[in-house]
Structure 1
Amino acid sequence: MSSKAKSERPHNPMTQSHILPTMVPALVLLLFLSSGTTAAGDGSIPSPAVYRTVCGKNQTTNPEAFDVNFVNAMEKIFQNISNGGFAISSSGDNFTAYGLGQCFSYLSPINCQLCYSQSRVKLPLCLPATTGRIFLDGCFLEYSDRNVSSNSVEDGDTFACSNFTVGGSAQETFRNLTTDLVGNLTAAAYLMKDYYAVGSVPVSPGLTVYGMAQCWRSLNASGCRECLEQGKQSIISKCLPADDAKAMNAGCFLRYSTKPFYLTASAGGGGGRGSSSTGHRVTIAVSTVLAAIVVIGLVFLWRMRRSSSICGQDAENEGVNREIIKSITKSQLSFKYEDLSKATCDFSQNNKLGQGGFGAVYKGILPDGREIAVKRLFFNTRQWVDQFFNEVTLINQVQHKNLVKLLGCSVEGPESLLVYEYLRNSSLDNYLFDSFKKTELSWERRLDIIVGTAEGLAYLHNASVVRIIHRDIKASNILLDNRFKPKISDFGLARYFAEDQSHLSTGLAGTFGYMAPEYIVHGQLTEKADIYGYGVLVLEIITGRKNQNSISTSVEGHSLMQQIWQQYNSDSLMALLDPDLEGRCSEEEALKVFKVGLLCVQASPTLRPPMWKVVEMLNSRSKQLPNPTQPPFLSLHKGAISGSSESSDLLSSSLSSRLGGQASVNEISVSIFQGR
């Protein structure tokens, strides 16, 4: 039996840096409709597995400068990797950071972006090391303080062997054919334009071995050959007869497996070319035609909607909306209204899980036994279009373990419904602010919630397919699964940023007490607003106190932030630790979390650390953290707003007009929403 190798050209992921805001509904619906064919069985695209992370031994002498350059280098890669699955970058004249990202050529465009997103969240854990690289199931990402793009092999090169072996009478045949396959792929890949080759060979009935070789496109042919040869020697001599092996070098990746990993990824992504079968080609062709039809139809619908909006023809708007509803109804993520009504016992109050700004959430049980959460939205037509598209499409584009999963929706009944995964432990506020339930929130669980929420936000801000600001981070929007792992929910107020935007100017929307002062004053929205809300949440979690009613429960009429700042200045922060945590965590750990929370709520948004840095600080063993500056004090006591920060000086004069008369300044717990 002879093995076979074939070249694969990478796909060009769609460019999205210049999507007009008014085109979002059409484009976003396309992603929504197509996700049913690219997702896993539960409607989500699984996160790629991390194979190996290698962090350098040397540390930078200027972490702050290097961190800034690291972020810029990673941002450049994000902007360019979608143009072809590969990107290199550099940033800074002093303490320069270099970056390199490569998606394996069998990945679809969307899966390439998702894989990069996952690697972008994980790689900063190597900082402040001067070098770091991470191999995932489908992509590679690296940073360094020197240009390493032409390096093919290095001391940090590694390999991994499966713990399972092919035994019995087929073992010797498996050894020989696998050796031949890997050798043929190694010999073929460096001669290909994109340095990529895949192939397979049958070993026995029911047993086939699959192989793949890929070099980074920054290498020359001789560098690619050197890298693959070394990788081949590693896995052939040290792994066989393991049923799966990976060589992970500075300039290439080589793998063999008894599982069709590149075929599975191609089929799951809806666009990879790992399979050469006729059936697979037909599937791709049909999918392409259907996608083209959807694109043409939705662009037409968008143009109609835009034209009628300009002319003020509401009747035509409603007609377009009906057409969009029909498209959603025909998608694979559509649920029947009657089924969801029955699953929730006609939206019984006994099944009600909570109430949000845009609708109530109910528990439901489908006929197959699956537990779901159904969000019931109440809007007129115009309000519905913006809100519904916003929540459905944003949450359907992002996939992360700390973001709630959207399972589908219903648009054919009297109201619009969103269907989410059901999380047994409901929301964080049901535990944190309940004197009986809060005992279940051990220190370990609270720390997991703090870190997990930070990782979810870091993904939204820096690593998701689109850059997203949640805009309403608070305890009631952090859901907990049966292991108390956090998932960020409620994307009704979320906004996405185009790559060339520094901020958005929006109407005031969110929950008072968690909104950043610069957002209240100027209405300018950046990711720093989420960071502020996260900081408030962290301080609530560690103190067990609710920020919104902290003034009324304080003898001095001080907000939670003001109380914490006073204790920080007097080196007595532990006095504010939740009594339920006393003796259950070290003072060092608690003070670190206090300090991270204070760093996130600083009055100046430029001083608040980005969320990826927050994740790094929380996971790092280092005791050294920057010293926070004073947060704004929103002491709504007897109708006055006080504070000495640069932001709070402006609040009193602008708050009443920004609220539009929807709440008095004494009503600190109200949620404020304005039409968009």
Structure 2
Amino acid sequence: MLYLYSARSSSKMEGATPLVLCSHVVVMLILLLPDTSVAEPRSQIIQLICGNKSTVSVPNFVGTMETLSEQVIARGYGVAVTGTGPDATYGISQCYGDLSLLDCALCFSEARTLFPQCFPYNGARLYLDGCFMRAENYSFYDQYLGPEDRRVCRNRTTKGSLFQQNARAAVQQAVGNAPSNNGYARSQVSFPRDSNDTAYVLADCWKTLSANSCAACLRNASASMLGCLPWSEGRALYTGCFMRYSDTNFLNAISTSGGSSSRGKVVVTIIVVSSVIVLGVGAFIGIGVWKKKLIQKKRKGANDAEKLVKILHDINLNFKYSTLDKATGSFDEANKLGQGCFGRWERDRRQKAVLQQ
């Protein structure tokens, strides 16, 4: 997941660890990307549908969300499961086909902040204008229709017959093209050309569906969504797909210069760079720990010397004068250190040698 941190005070920044500082650097790199207004993440929430059964297993839920984050940032969609049995958490998240990887990451980040509102229930679906997320305690990946399917109409303006005709034609094109185009299609119909009655349509199926299931979902979704006419905008929120029509061009532009693609490459590059930074920080910390241990080892040697002095002091090698006087024969020269018994032995040997002569 893409986490954004902000420093509330300079004192917090001063006490920040290298890893937190690294996070700030990565976020700043993303925010400083050039021309970030080319596309829109369309992170406006359309509807959050919460289940009313099965309490969520928090560790499994968190694990699934983390795996989805990694996959969505890398490729624009993710499928994950954590745990087994009734406590398992199955999840899916997908950005719609006209979003770049950067816009997808931003939409997913918004979705993830909203998703926990369904806690403590495991079942939840979240539809945003740019991405979708769902989690359950069972495998739902092949489902494309369900009782929660619905349309959402926006009564901004009432359109005439010409727009309604264009909207139906554009919807038909998208429904026909999406199943054979990896589940994604966009279309716009303007008749007569350059009129103010242009209709814009987006269709997206979840990537876990087969082409036949995708087609079935879009057929049902489109029939329901067209019931919003003559209103100027409508959406279909279905188990296996999402559709939208509007009289306003909400679609992100298709860049012929590779803008979205290059944007995605930049994001991937930032991820790689951030990984390198994290590894560098880890190496820096490792070297610091090694140096600290080395210093502690040297200090330990010094401590050992101090301990020896303390031991010698504790065993009390102090003697009374009377004891020393008796032991040294009133401090006889023959008992000086380095002489002692050896000195007396040498003196006696020399005296015997003189007598023998």
TM-score by length of 2: 0.63
Distance 1:68 1:26 in 2: 29
User: Which protein has the larger Cα radius of gyration, Structure 1 or Structure 2?
Assistant: 2
1:224 aligned partner: 214
Distance 1:160 1:100 in 2: 22
The CA deviation at 1:46 is 7.5
Query: 181, 187, 206: which one pairs with 1:199?
Result: 187
2:36 paired with 1:48: no
Distance 2:132 2:24 in 1: 32
Contact 1:196 1:213 in 2 (8 A): yes
User: What letter is aligned with 1:202?
Assistant: S
Distance 1:199 1:68 in 2: 42
User: What letter is aligned with 2:112?
Assistant: R
Distance 2:66 2:23 in 1: 22
SS at match of 2:155: coil
Greater Cα offset, 117-126 or 197-206? 197-206
Distance 2:126 2:30 in 1: 28
2:143 aligned partner: 151
2:228 paired with 1:239: yes
Contact 2:122 2:137 in 1 (8 A): yes
2:173 paired with 1:174: no
The CA deviation at 1:24 is 8.2
Query: 156, 163, 174: which one pairs with 1:164?
Result: 156
2:29 paired with 1:38: no
2:97 paired with 1:105: yes
2:323 aligned partner: none
Distance 1:55 1:260 in 2: 30
> Residue 24 and residue 124 in structure 1: after superposition, are their counterparts in 2 closer, same or farther (change >3 A)?
closer
Contact 1:90 1:99 in 2 (8 A): yes
Matches within 5 A, 1:65-214: 66-94=57-85, 95-167=87-159, 171-192=160-181, 194-203=182-191, 205-214=195-204
Contact 1:47 1:118 in 2 (8 A): no
Distance 1:173 1:25 in 2: 52
Show structure 2 runs of 5+ residues with no match: 3-17, 289-357
Query: 235, 238, 256: which one pairs with 1:281?
Result: 256
SS at match of 2:162: helix
Contact 2:162 2:197 in 1 (8 A): no
Count matched residues. Answer: 257
Contact 1:211 1:256 in 2 (8 A): yes
* 1:596-620 residue CA offsets vs partner (Å, 9 max, x unmatched): xxxxxxxxxxxxxxxxxxxxxxxxx
> Residue 200 and residue 83 in structure 1: after superposition, are their counterparts in 2 closer, same or farther (change >3 A)?
same
* 1:191-225 residue CA offsets vs partner (Å, 9 max, x unmatched): 11x21111111146233111111101100011101
Contact 2:199 2:248 in 1 (8 A): yes
SS at match of 1:105: coil
The CA deviation at 1:79 is 1.1
> Residue 206 and residue 220 in structure 1: after superposition, are their counterparts in 2 closer, same or farther (change >3 A)?
same
Distance 1:54 1:106 in 2: 24
Distance 1:115 1:28 in 2: 15
* 1:641-670 residue CA offsets vs partner (Å, 9 max, x unmatched): xxxxxxxxxxxxxxxxxxxxxxxxxxxxxx
User: What letter is aligned with 2:198?
Assistant: T
* 1:498-555 residue CA offsets vs partner (Å, 9 max, x unmatched): 8xx9xx99x9xxxxxxxxxxxxxxxxxxxxxxxxxxxxxxxxxxxxxxxxxxxxxxxx
Matches within 5 A, 1:375-394: none
Distance 1:197 1:139 in 2: 15
1:266 aligned partner: none
The CA deviation at 1:33 is 3.6
The CA deviation at 1:282 is 4.6
Matches within 5 A, 1:431-446: none
Distance 2:110 2:203 in 1: 22
Contact 1:190 1:225 in 2 (8 A): yes
2:249 paired with 1:260: yes
User: What letter is aligned with 1:246?
Assistant: R
Distance 2:92 2:170 in 1: 28
The CA deviation at 1:246 is 0.6
SS at match of 2:215: helix
Show structure 1 runs of 5+ residues with no match: 1-13, 15-19, 264-273, 303-465, 468-495, 508-676
> Residue 46 and residue 177 in structure 1: after superposition, are their counterparts in 2 closer, same or farther (change >3 A)?
closer
Distance 2:29 2:122 in 1: 41
Distance 1:242 1:190 in 2: 27
Distance 1:71 1:84 in 2: 20
1:415 aligned partner: none
* 1:133-169 residue CA offsets vs partner (Å, 9 max, x unmatched): 00112100000010111111111112111112333xx
Distance 1:26 1:56 in 2: 39
Distance 1:25 1:146 in 2: 37
Larger helix proportion of the pair: 2
User: What letter is aligned with 1:196?
Assistant: Y
Contact 1:88 1:101 in 2 (8 A): yes
Distance 1:229 1:198 in 2: 15
Matches within 5 A, 1:247-396: 247-263=236-252, 274-275=253-254, 280-282=255-257, 284=259, 288=262
Aligned Cα root-mean-square deviation (Å): 3.7
> Residue 226 and residue 46 in structure 1: after superposition, are their counterparts in 2 closer, same or farther (change >3 A)?
closer
User: What letter is aligned with 1:261?
Assistant: F
2:295 aligned partner: none
Distance 2:137 2:31 in 1: 40
> Residue 248 and residue 28 in structure 1: after superposition, are their counterparts in 2 closer, same or farther (change >3 A)?
closer
* 1:562-600 residue CA offsets vs partner (Å, 9 max, x unmatched): xxxxxxxxxxxxxxxxxxxxxxxxxxxxxxxxxxxxxxx
Matches within 5 A, 1:548-587: none
The CA deviation at 1:113 is 0.6
* 1:210-266 residue CA offsets vs partner (Å, 9 max, x unmatched): 111110110001110111011011011x20111111101111111111111113xxx
* 1:355-392 residue CA offsets vs partner (Å, 9 max, x unmatched): xxxxxxxxxxxxxxxxxxxxxxxxxxxxxxxxxxxxxx
